Amino acid sequence: MSRYARETQVPTDRSKGEIERLLRRYGADRICTGESGVDGQGFVQFELETRAVRINLPLPSPEQDEFRLTSTGRKRGAVAARDAWTKACRQQWRVLLLIVHAQLEAIENGVMPVEQAFMPHLLLPNGQTVSELIMPQMEAALEGRELPKLLGFKGTS
């Protein structure tokens, strides 16, 4: 199965610039994109309709076997390994552009408000995002429990 933007040739800096321009077009302010070599993540941060948003983008580690080794298990040269890793990073940034664009369109068209569209990524006063605060608690709450039945679903169990 093909993954979105798997073969993109768009450099990551161009994708970051497109994200920034897109956010400005939809009224965002205080826009920042970047990458952290420490934790291997990219990010986009901005303010939209008085809400601060930070979307973290997990980037692959260049040490992963998929970059260091070929599909047959042979060791790749340094240049080939770097090219494979760069390709994966380009793809991640294109995916983030798609996500941000979709959410902004949903807001623009009244499908959902900013708070709902970007809820997991809303910044709290302590600097955490909503998902960073909630996910550990949610995982603990759901562990070993049966999910609620969907409304209107009449199962046979």
Residue pLDDT, tens place only, 70-128 = 889 999 999 999 999 999 999 999 999 999 999 999 999 999 999 999 999 999 999 99
Average pLDDT (9-16) is 93
**Closest alpha carbon to 58 in 106, 99, 7:** 99
Residue 19 and residue 98 in contact, taking contact as beta carbons nearer than 8 Å:
no
This prediction's pTM = 0.85
Average pLDDT (149-156) is 62
3-state SS class at 142: helix
Asked whether residue 4 is domain-assigned, the answer is no
Asked whether residue 156 is domain-assigned, the answer is no
pLDDT at position 100 is 98
**Structural domains in the chain (count):** 1
Asked whether residue 150 is domain-assigned, the answer is no
By CB atoms closer than 10 A (0-12, 13-18, 19+), residue 44 is: buried
CB-based contacts of 100: which residues, under 8 Å, 6+ apart?
A: 19, 22, 23, 44, 55
Structural domain for 71, as ranges: 12-142
